[in-house]
Chains A and B, each alone.
Chain A
């Protein structure tokens, strides 16, 4: 029988493998590296940051009280008596109302997407991993909601519940759960078929452990990317709900609501009346482009 010492030597004589040429860089650090070299995304990311900060610090930056009305100063153009962006139909300062309106819009943009990601994502991961009848049940239920156009569905739910900012956010959350669920389910199904999941099962890992250590890390990426693109949609939909009177109640400043009330005055001071629309447009586009940049940086096949 061969000596134990002799058994060791063939292995130690093994050619030590040459180290890889690249620097060690984790996934997130390589994402950051790619982002740093993407000027478009960086610029629009800065814009998003600016918008968020402006909304956050509105009480300190706004030059006037957004609720203060003035009979004489109604529908004034840009620059009239320190009102940089003019006044609305009740004489309130547009700049202040735009800044405060940003808070509501951003809130109604981000919160529904966040909640929908958590719930829809969880449902999708469960369905995708368990498969079979459970998955079919979940996905077909989602399909029912998916069949409705998102705007109609949001309006229907918000209208049925009576409007208001809370119901508006609820409506949007329900609208976004099916697509988030689908994205999560697709990503999970793809990951589940891969060999390293089987290898994990072969070591005896339980389903929960496999999801926690192997599935989540690979599924969160697509979910996050999709969620970031939903934020811009959410802002648009939220403004739409407010425009139809199903969102916040006047006199709370909100871009959609402002668009609705300023609609009749568009021939008087067109630029002032278009301002809320411009704000919605810019915010939505910035989020959209940042989301695209994130996708390009995160979705690279390594």
Chain B
């Protein structure tokens, strides 16, 4: 069973499947973007990703540039339509004839974007940006404004002081609070956060993380937290999913992944973190080279070009996401875990 937040989630009035039903299931999601000018070639942004998100947990998704995590975030909200695969929200298929419609999905799932300068409309005052969501979803303007005022207060911004302001007058941390308020104004059950603290200073990052934790408890939310920063993901997540070049390479409870990473890529990522202790500096980089181009991914296991343990079988066969017998629901996609793979270091059953 997956690890759930210690506070038992209070069941939402809109709950359909019960506490054991994962809030979101993704099965074999694929999204390829055709490359302009090059026939037949495509950027394989997401290539067969499957996982589930339990009610009330925080699932962290971590990976470097080109791994597809941002595309995956947009797939979960159907902002980008998947080429293949399916999404199941609280037991109902998304965008299927007898399932839940996309606009109904968007009343229950929202997204917080990275604070680039373009995450808020520069010509709209803050209170209108936040009120837009409720307004679109049917509330009249005065009611929408009231919800906006309330939500701004909840993220620590005085609505009288900040409501009439424009985005360029706010600091990075304040803009990010507005982003969070915009996502919460429609009352979602699940929030997807795409690099919500990456553009912030470290001291502000800590404030926003504390805010996110408090909001999650108060509103009984489920988070999908996407980041390239391992330390942040480790702190905030219950379970972690590691992506590489459009595929899941490791998935499991956060503590298990950080204490006993099974996949060589996860091990390399963890070994690349700066040490904070000048006496114990990293002497040799864990892996060399850059993440390869998602247009032309390597054959077989996509990581084999940079893997210190690569063998011929890794080049020919793609390893499935296999479970590591030692841990609870801790899976990694590596031939070394599969005793029948033919890899010389494969564990015996």
Binding site for B on A (CB under 8 A): 1-2, 7-8, 10-11, 14-17, 19-20, 22, 24, 26-27, 194-196, 198-205, 209, 213-214, 217-218, 302
Q: List 24 A-B contacts (CB under 8 A).
A: A1-B10, A10-B210, A10-B214, A10-B217, A11-B154, A11-B211, A11-B214, A11-B215, A15-B207, A17-B156, A17-B158, A17-B173, A20-B162, A24-B164, A26-B166, A196-B120, A199-B119, A199-B182, A200-B132, A203-B106, A203-B132, A203-B133, A213-B132, A217-B121
Q: A17-B162, A194-B118, A214-B121 are in contact. Are A2 and B136 (CB under 8 A)?
A: no
Chain B residues with Cβ under 8 A from A20's Cβ? 162, 165, 169-171, 174
Q: Tell me if B343 is interfacial: C-beta within 8 Å of chain A.
A: no
- Shortest beta-carbon distance, A9 to chain B, in Å? 9
- The residue from A200, A204, A209 contacting B107, defined by CB atoms under 8 A apart: A204
A195 contacts B157, C-beta separation under 8 Å: no
Q: A17-B156, A26-B166, A201-B79 are in contact. Are A2 and B217 (CB under 8 A)?
A: yes
Interface contacts beyond A15-B207, A195-B118, A204-B136: sample of 14 additional A-B pairs, CB < 8 Å, sorted by A: A10-B217, A16-B156, A19-B158, A20-B169, A24-B165, A27-B166, A196-B118, A198-B74, A199-B119, A200-B132, A203-B133, A204-B137, A213-B124, A217-B121
A218 contacts B169, C-beta separation under 8 Å: no
Q: How far, in angstroms, from A214 to B7 measured CA to CA in the complex? A: 40
Chain B residues with Cβ under 8 A from A214's Cβ? 121, 124
Q: How far, in angstroms, from A200 to B119 measured CA to CA in the complex? A: 10
Q: Tell me if B266 is interfacial: C-beta within 8 Å of chain A.
A: no
- Of B16-24, B109-117, B228-236, B333-341, the segment with at least 4 beta carbons within 8 Å of chain A is B109-117
Q: Tell me if B161 is interfacial: C-beta within 8 Å of chain A.
A: yes
Chain B residues with Cβ under 8 A from A198's Cβ? 74, 79, 111, 113
Q: How far, in angstroms, from A220 to B166 measured CA to CA in the complex? A: 18
A217 contacts B177, C-beta separation under 8 Å: no
B137 contacts A203, C-beta separation under 8 Å: yes
Chain A residues with Cβ under 8 A from B210's Cβ? 10
- Shortest beta-carbon distance, B80 to chain A, in Å? 10
- Which B-chain residue is minimally distant from A193 (CB atoms)? B118
Chain B residues with Cβ under 8 A from A202's Cβ? 77, 79, 106, 110-111
A17 contacts B157, C-beta separation under 8 Å: yes
- Shortest beta-carbon distance, B1 to chain A, in Å? 20
Q: How far, in angstroms, from A17 to B178 measured CA to CA in the complex? A: 12
Q: Could you say which of B7, B110, B136, B137 has the most chain A C-beta atoms within 10 Å of its C-beta?
A: B136
- Shortest beta-carbon distance, A286 to chain B, in Å? 29
- Which B-chain residue is minimally distant from A10 (CB atoms)? B214
Chain A residues with Cβ under 8 A from B116's Cβ? 195
Q: Tell me if B12 is interfacial: C-beta within 8 Å of chain A.
A: no
Q: Tell me if B347 is interfacial: C-beta within 8 Å of chain A.
A: no
A8 contacts B218, C-beta separation under 8 Å: yes
Within 8 A of A (CB), among B146-200: 154, 156-158, 161-162, 164-166, 168-171, 173-174, 177, 179, 182, 186
Q: How far, in angstroms, from A7 to B120 measured CA to CA in the complex? A: 29
Q: Tell me if B129 is interfacial: C-beta within 8 Å of chain A.
A: yes
- Which B-chain residue is minimally distant from A30 (CB atoms)? B166
- Which B-chain residue is minimally distant from A11 (CB atoms)? B214
- Which B-chain residue is minimally distant from A24 (CB atoms)? B164
Q: A195-B113, A195-B114, A217-B124 are in contact. Are A7 and B132 (CB under 8 A)?
A: no
Q: Could you say which of A200, A202, A218 has the most chain B C-beta atoms within 10 Å of its C-beta?
A: A202
- The residue from A11, A19, A204 contacting B106, defined by CB atoms under 8 A apart: A204
Q: Tell me if B300 is interfacial: C-beta within 8 Å of chain A.
A: no
Chain A residues with Cβ under 8 A from B218's Cβ? 7-8, 11
Q: How far, in angstroms, from A17 to B157 measured CA to CA in the complex? A: 6
Q: How far, in angstroms, from A17 to B110 measured CA to CA in the complex? A: 24
Q: How far, in angstroms, from A16 to B153 measured CA to CA in the complex? A: 9
A203 contacts B174, C-beta separation under 8 Å: no
Chain A residues with Cβ under 8 A from B173's Cβ? 17
Q: How far, in angstroms, from A289 to B164 measured CA to CA in the complex? A: 33
B113 contacts A19, C-beta separation under 8 Å: no
Q: How far, in angstroms, from A228 to B107 measured CA to CA in the complex? A: 43
Chain A residues with Cβ under 8 A from B111's Cβ? 198-199, 202
Chain A residues with Cβ under 8 A from B162's Cβ? 17, 19-20
Q: How far, in angstroms, from A196 to B154 measured CA to CA in the complex? A: 21
Q: A203-B106, A203-B110, A205-B132 are in contact. Are A17 and B118 (CB under 8 A)?
A: no
Q: How far, in angstroms, from A202 to B107 measured CA to CA in the complex? A: 9
Chain B residues with Cβ under 8 A from A7's Cβ? 217-218
Chain B residues with Cβ under 8 A from A19's Cβ? 158, 161-162
A302 contacts B164, C-beta separation under 8 Å: no
Chain A residues with Cβ under 8 A from B207's Cβ? 15
Q: Tell me if B36 is interfacial: C-beta within 8 Å of chain A.
A: no
- Which B-chain residue is minimally distant from A200 (CB atoms)? B132
* B 1-42 binary contact with A (CB < 8 Å = 1; else 0): 000000110100000000000000000000000000000000
- Shortest beta-carbon distance, B113 to chain A, in Å? 4
B156 contacts A14, C-beta separation under 8 Å: yes
Q: How far, in angstroms, from A24 to B167 measured CA to CA in the complex? A: 11
Chain B residues with Cβ under 8 A from A204's Cβ? 103, 106-107, 136-137
